[in-house]
Structures are given as C-alpha cells and as structure tokens.
Chains A and B, each alone.
Chain A
Amino acid sequence: MKTRNTITRRTLGKATLGAATLLGAPLPLRFAHAQAPANLKVGLLLPTSGLQAQIGQACRKGADVANEVFADVKMPVSLDIVNYDTETKPDVARTQAEKAIDAGCHVLVGAFDSGQTIAIAQVCEQRGIPLIVNIAAAPQITEQGYKWVVRNFPTAPMLITGALALHKEIFKASGKTPKTAVMMSVNDTFGTSMINGIKALFPKLDMPYEIVETISYDPAAKDLSVEVGKAKATKADLLLPVSRLNDAKLLVQEMVKQRWEPMGVLNPGAPGLYEQDFLKTMGKYSDFLVSNVPWLDPKIAMTQALEKRHAAKYPNDQLDLNGGFTFEGMLIAAQAWMAAKSTKPDALMDALRKLKIDQHVMVGGPIQFDAKGQNVNIKAAAVENFKRKPTVVMPLDSAAAPLVFPMPGWNDKRRT
C-alpha cells in the first residue's frame, strides 16, 4: 500500500508555531541551540543545608541567574544546572558527587568548603569528570596532581599574601600602625590551611605587627566567650579572624559583650564578616569591620548584568563573592563547552586547560588556569562594612568609599 505525505492543518499549525517560536526567540539562545548538540548538564554541589547553609544558598543564587546573564551579555549558551546539597559534610559531598555523575552531569561545580571540595575532587578523579572549584582555598586541591580539577579561587597563600599586602596599604593610608595582633581561627581544613599559610608567609612579608597569639576553635562552636576572653587578655591592637559565618557572629557578639575594642578587625581572607546574614544579625556592630577578599568588580558590564539579574530575582539578598565566584564557575563551564563543542569529559577538560576569559565579574586579570589547574590572576580588595553594606575601600583606584581605620568603638555615634 502506498502512503502519501500530506500536510494537514494540524501539522501546518505545529510547524508555524515552531517557526514563530524560533524567530521570536532571542538571538543568542537561537545561536546556542544551533551550536550545542545537547545542553551541558552542570552538577552544582553546595552546602545548602547544615552549618554553612546560608553561604551555600548565597552561592547558589549566583548560579540561578547565570543563564539570564549569559543572554544579557549575548553569550550564546544556556546550561542545565542541577543542584545537589552537600549538607556541609564531606561524606555527603562525596555521595552527592557520585549521584550527580550517575545522573549524567558533564561537569561539576562546587563546593564552597575545602573539606567538601577535596571529597568531590577525589570522586571526579576516579570517574574522569571535570570539577570547577568555585570557592575553596586549601592549597592541596591544586597541589595533589589532580587531572580533572580547576580552581577559580585563590589558594590560602594567595589569599594571605593579597590580604597582608592590603593591611600595609590600610596602615599607610590611615597613618596608624598596630604593633600586635591576635589570630582567631576555625580549626577545619580551610582554617588550618590559612593559619599554616600565615605562619609560613608572615616572616617573608615584613609585616609591621607581631602575632602574639593564635587561638583556634571548632567551626561548630556555640559559644566563643572563653576564646574571646583569651584574645582580649593579650591586649593585641588588631584581631585577625579566620572565620566562617556562624562563628563570626559569635565572635563579634562576644567582643561587644566583653567590651573589647581593638584598633581594628581585619579579616585576612576569610568569609564571615561580609555575609548578608552577618550584616543583618549584627546590625550596627557589623560596621567598620574589614575583609580582605576577592570581590566583584562593579565597573565591568557582566558584573552590572549579574547585579541587575540578582537584584531582580532576589531583591532582599546581597550579591557578594559567594554568588560572584559561583556565577564565574558557571561562566567557565559555559565557555569550556563552547570551546570544546562537545560534552565529552576529555574535550571539556582540554578546553578548560586552554581557556582564557577576559570578560568576567570578579576583580583581577583574565580567568586562566596554570598547569596545576589554578587561576593565578585573582586579586584581593579591602572591603569595609558601612551601614550594613560591604564597600570596597582598597585598592584606592577601585575604592567606592574612604577607609575608616582605626575602627570606631562599639558605642561610637558613627554606628547607627
């Protein structure tokens, strides 16, 4: 029996609708559709519950708006982002990484915390899937010879070197130089790396102050009164906290209660002091605390697009380095996919190694990975909280407001 190819009204209607959709779609998306054989599936692993939940959620928001920002800056790409919760536990991070790979993710991005990231990196090495580290500073992540890992975040020594250089700039600009400092640090993988890094680098950097004591504590600590009491007893001029979010809150709360007013609180490259939840909870006591961290460059078009999309989608949330670096994780995955023109792990990893991204959102040079998979072009900024808003005060050419140092007392009228 012979069948005839006939065009029915229904087929014609469907074809017209399809054509209209294609013509009506924004140009970049059409281009992406034409270029990509299948969407790149990105497994985003973050601690969105547990102790680091708030920071994990802040990271995720940066990824949530990634596709919209790509369209805004006419990047012809759209990613399938699948979220996995590591529950702030390295063992769960490992299980979730395996789950993501089993579910067909072509590339993994994560995981904010060094311990969890190391667990994921081991899975990626075993399974041969690229991992783009959004935030994690422990040096060993790019020092262990991993073949499937790239990191777009400074290592602890890079963070420390950048931060301590900024300390000198702060003292120079303010004309006040502290003589002594006390370090307080979480005793997790990140904190230990930072402390060891500071101890190793300190003699080489010719710092004007002496570290008189180092006090470590559990990141899950529920009370830091003894630790702060011990730090206060040193009578140090400066506090250098290597904190996370919850302990940063406890730390400042105890400082206020114990009426300890050092010359300044200068974070040597750690989270906590600039986080939205910290600013909200601590209120006026969050002002004039300084974080020396990589930050978003407000002068770049892509940053402006990211800020606009983030503000539209999350009007009550602040965009900080967590969202910024996680967005960049997505950007790196997208650029690698476009360069590789394939979702195959080998092709993606090869593209990642050769990548050079000039337009991105964080302060620093182009995103480019060295032989170990480390982006060495990231720079730090001094970010001081003013009226519950982290504001760039150093380097001077990027400053959005003048530096205030020494820190005003807890009951100073400038805290409102």
Chain B
Amino acid sequence: MTYDFLLSLAQAIAKGLLTGMVYGLMALGLSVIFGVMRIVNFAHGEMMVVGMYLAWMGLEYFEVTPMLALPAIAAIFFVAGYALQRGLVSPFIGRPEHQQFLLLLAVAILLVNACLAIAGPDSRGVQLEAQFDSYEVGPLVFDAVRLHAALAAVAIALVLWLFFTRTRTGKSIRAAADNHLGALVVGLDVRRLYAVTFGIGAACVGAAGALMITIIPVTPFLANEYTLLAFVIVIVGGLGSMTGALMGGLLIGVSEALAGLLFEPSLKSMFSFGLLILVLLLRPQGLFGRSGR
C-alpha cells in the first residue's frame, strides 16, 4: 500500500467520523424516544428537515448562524415535541403498532407538505464564512464546517448523557424505561416523563437539523432519506441504546466514506444497507442493543 493510498484512507475515515457524529446525534433522538416509550418515530427525518429549515430561516431572515440558532431551535423542538406527545402520541401508547405507525406517518406527511407550502421545493443552503475553510493537521485536512458540527454533536450528546445520569428527571426517565409498572408504583408521573422524553428526542433531532444545514442544503424531499438513515443507524447500533445510536452513526459515516473511496462513490449507500442486513442476520438486537430473548 502506498503512502498516498494510506493518506486517502485516513482522510476518508476522518471525514466519515465527523459526518458520523452528526448522524449519531440525529439517530440519538429516535433511540431515546423508542428506548423509553417503545414508540418508533416515523416522522424523525421530517422533524430534522424542519430543523434545517428553521436554521436556514434564522440565517436568511435574521442573520443568525445555524450554530447560534441551535439552542433556540432545540428549545422550540422540545416544546413542540412535548406538546405533540401530550396531545397526539400519548393516547396511542399501548395501542397496536400499526396505529402508532399510521399516526406518525400522518405527522410526517403533514410536516413535509408544510415545508413544501412554506419554503417551496427548491434546495436551500446556507453560506457561512467557514464554508470554504479547513484545518490542516499534518498531512490530513479537516473540513471546518464538518468539524464544528461534529464537536457540537459530541457536546450535545455529552449534555444528554449528563442529564440522564446526573439529574433526578433523567434518572426517573431511565427508571420508567426500565420498569414502567415499577415507576408507576413508586409514584413517578410517567405521562409527564414520556412527554419530556419525546421533547428531548425532538430537541436532539432539531439540533441535528441545525448542524446538518451547515453541511448540506435542504429540500422537503430530503426527509424520507433521513428517516431511513436514522433507522439504519439505530438498528445497526441497537434500537433504544444511546451508545448504540452514536456508535451506529459513526459506523455508517465511516462505511459510507470508505465505500466511496474503495469502490464507486455513487454506491456508498449500498454499503450502509449491506451493513444493516448483516447486523439483522447476525445480531438482530444491534451491536449495542440488549437481546429481547
């Protein structure tokens, strides 16, 4: 193997890791919601697209960069997610899965069409000063925007981990996830905890949207692709596992980058799905998921 090839390999892995961190944050929201409420959010990609549009509007109309708008977008998503759970999703907990699926699919269609009606079908991207910047570390070149997004994603994941392990509400949510009946017996307000969880999941995906718009432009039709991607990541990592979502994101990010380098770039998505099939065959609970058996 030549030096040039090894350098390209290292460059591709670095790029895959950076993209994978944002993927991980996106999938984290899906995993948190499923892990606690056992509800699969089929409107996940659509929620991320809404987050991307909000970040784009922030820059376009108020000259606030996506990174600065991120906390506000996450807060808006938290409130919206909380309200959505209390108003719509809550009555469906415990109902047959196909009903939950249809409900969230309807929400997804509403969101996409709202984006289409408000922003139109055209691709919208943000132009930031850092858009053309990169950092050089030895022979490796790191894309500045991707690096900023990845660092922000790691910081958000860290805050989330601290919330779930250090705060009373976080511990209560984990307790409710582990033992629903037990949580009710000890007097936890499980309905409120579920709404908070949905709000947190939505905030994660909103934040991921604000970061993603700095990397790629948005169109309403992007939503399906990201819902699918989030599913691939959480299934590979393990549905319901936070670590699994993050590691799944990294794995998919790196596999796409390597497939692009070693094979044909236009075939890179094929490798994500190949990985998904392998995991489903060999370890159906995902790499970091707990076995249901």
Asked if B134 contacts A258 (CB within 8 A), the reply is yes
* B217 CB-CB contact with A under 8 Å: yes
Chain B nearest Cβ from A76, distance in angstroms: 38
* A223 CB-CB contact with B under 8 Å: yes
Asked if B121 contacts A217 (CB within 8 A), the reply is no
* B127 CB-CB contact with A under 8 Å: yes
Interface readout for A76-88 with B: 1 if CB under 8 Å, 0 if not? Answer: 0000000000010
* A229 CB-CB contact with B under 8 Å: yes
* B36 CB-CB contact with A under 8 Å: no
Distance, CA A291 to CA B131, complexed state (A) = 24
Closest B residue, CB atoms, query A184? B265
Interface readout for A219-259 with B: 1 if CB under 8 Å, 0 if not? Answer: 00111111101100101000000000010000001001111
Chain B nearest Cβ from A18, distance in angstroms: 43
Distance, CA A285 to CA B133, complexed state (A) = 12
* B266 CB-CB contact with A under 8 Å: yes
Taking CB atoms and an 8 Å cut-off, the chain A residues in 310-353 that contact chain B are none
Asked if A257 contacts B261 (CB within 8 A), the reply is no
Distance, CA A221 to CA B144, complexed state (A) = 20
Please name 10 further chain A to chain B contacts, defined as beta carbons within 8 Å, in addition to the given A225-B146, A226-B15, A233-B8, sorted by A numbering.
A49-B120, A49-B122, A50-B122, A226-B265, A229-B8, A229-B261, A233-B4, A235-B4, A259-B141, A410-B132
Q: With a 10 A CB-CB cut-off, give which of A49, A230, A410 has the most chain B CB atoms.
A: A230
Asked if B132 contacts A87 (CB within 8 A), the reply is no
* A281 CB-CB contact with B under 8 Å: yes
* Majority secondary structure of chain B interface residues (helix, strand, loop or mixed): helix
Chain B nearest Cβ from A297, distance in angstroms: 31
Measured between beta carbons, the chain B residues less than 8 angstroms from A230 are 8, 260-261, 265
Measured between beta carbons, the chain A residues less than 8 angstroms from B8 are 229-230, 233
Count residues of A near B (Cβ-Cβ below 8 Å).
31
Asked if B260 contacts A257 (CB within 8 A), the reply is no
* B19 CB-CB contact with A under 8 Å: yes
Asked if B15 contacts A285 (CB within 8 A), the reply is no
Contacts A229-B15, A233-B4, A257-B143 given: A222-B265 contact, CB under 8 Å? no
Distance, CA A281 to CA B120, complexed state (A) = 20
* B105 CB-CB contact with A under 8 Å: no
* A215 CB-CB contact with B under 8 Å: yes
Measured between beta carbons, the chain B residues less than 8 angstroms from A258 are 134, 141, 143
Closest A residue, CB atoms, query B7? A233
Chain A nearest Cβ from B211, distance in angstroms: 14
* A187 CB-CB contact with B under 8 Å: yes
* B86 CB-CB contact with A under 8 Å: no
Distance, CA A253 to CA B219, complexed state (A) = 19
Closest B residue, CB atoms, query A54? B122
Measured between beta carbons, the chain A residues less than 8 angstroms from B5 are 233
Asked if B121 contacts A50 (CB within 8 A), the reply is yes
* B70 CB-CB contact with A under 8 Å: no
Measured between beta carbons, the chain A residues less than 8 angstroms from B120 are 49
Asked if A227 contacts B134 (CB within 8 A), the reply is no
Interface readout for B143-187 with A: 1 if CB under 8 Å, 0 if not? Answer: 110100000000000000000000000000000000000000000
Query: B residues touching A (Cβ–Cβ < 8 Å)?
Result: 4-5, 7-8, 11-12, 15, 19, 120-123, 125, 127, 131-134, 136, 141, 143-144, 146, 215-217, 219, 222, 256-257, 260-261, 264-266, 268
Chain B nearest Cβ from A232, distance in angstroms: 8
Distance, CA A54 to CA B122, complexed state (A) = 8
Measured between beta carbons, the chain A residues less than 8 angstroms from B219 are 51
Chain B nearest Cβ from A21, distance in angstroms: 40
Distance, CA A233 to CA B7, complexed state (A) = 9
* A189 CB-CB contact with B under 8 Å: no
Asked if A87 contacts B121 (CB within 8 A), the reply is yes
Measured between beta carbons, the chain B residues less than 8 angstroms from A218 are 266
Chain B nearest Cβ from A260, distance in angstroms: 9
* A263 CB-CB contact with B under 8 Å: no
Contacts A51-B123, A217-B266 given: A222-B4 contact, CB under 8 Å? no
Which 8 residue pairs across A and B have the least CB separation, nearest first? A226-B260, A222-B216, A233-B8, A257-B134, A49-B121, A256-B132, A227-B265, A53-B122
Contacts A223-B215, A246-B123, A246-B217 given: A229-B132 contact, CB under 8 Å? no
Distance, CA A225 to CA B127, complexed state (A) = 17
**26 A-B pairs in the complex with CB atoms less than 8 angstroms apart:** A49-B121, A53-B122, A87-B121, A187-B266, A215-B265, A216-B265, A216-B266, A222-B216, A222-B217, A223-B19, A225-B15, A225-B146, A226-B12, A226-B257, A226-B261, A227-B265, A229-B12, A229-B15, A233-B7, A246-B123, A253-B131, A257-B132, A257-B134, A258-B141, A258-B143, A259-B141
Distance, CA A235 to CA B132, complexed state (A) = 21
Measured between beta carbons, the chain B residues less than 8 angstroms from A410 are 132
Asked if B264 contacts A216 (CB within 8 A), the reply is yes
Measured between beta carbons, the chain B residues less than 8 angstroms from A229 are 8, 11-12, 15, 261
Measured between beta carbons, the chain A residues less than 8 angstroms from B133 are 257
Distance, CA A189 to CA B216, complexed state (A) = 24
Distance, CA A197 to CA B15, complexed state (A) = 33
Closest A residue, CB atoms, query B18? A225
Distance, CA A408 to CA B183, complexed state (A) = 67
Chain A nearest Cβ from B245, distance in angstroms: 21
Distance, CA A224 to CA B260, complexed state (A) = 10
Measured between beta carbons, the chain A residues less than 8 angstroms from B141 are 257-259
Distance, CA A285 to CA B132, complexed state (A) = 9
Measured between beta carbons, the chain B residues less than 8 angstroms from A216 are 264-266
Closest A residue, CB atoms, query B141? A258
Closest A residue, CB atoms, query B127? A281
Chain A nearest Cβ from B49, distance in angstroms: 12
Q: With a 10 A CB-CB cut-off, give which of A54, A229, A410 has the most chain B CB atoms.
A: A229
Asked if B121 contacts A53 (CB within 8 A), the reply is yes
Taking CB atoms and an 8 Å cut-off, the chain A residues in 33-76 that contact chain B are 49-51, 53-54
Measured between beta carbons, the chain B residues less than 8 angstroms from A51 are 123, 219
Distance, CA A259 to CA B132, complexed state (A) = 10
Chain A nearest Cβ from B136, distance in angstroms: 8
Measured between beta carbons, the chain B residues less than 8 angstroms from A223 are 19, 215-216
Contacts A223-B216, A230-B260 given: A253-B132 contact, CB under 8 Å? yes
Distance, CA A49 to CA B119, complexed state (A) = 12
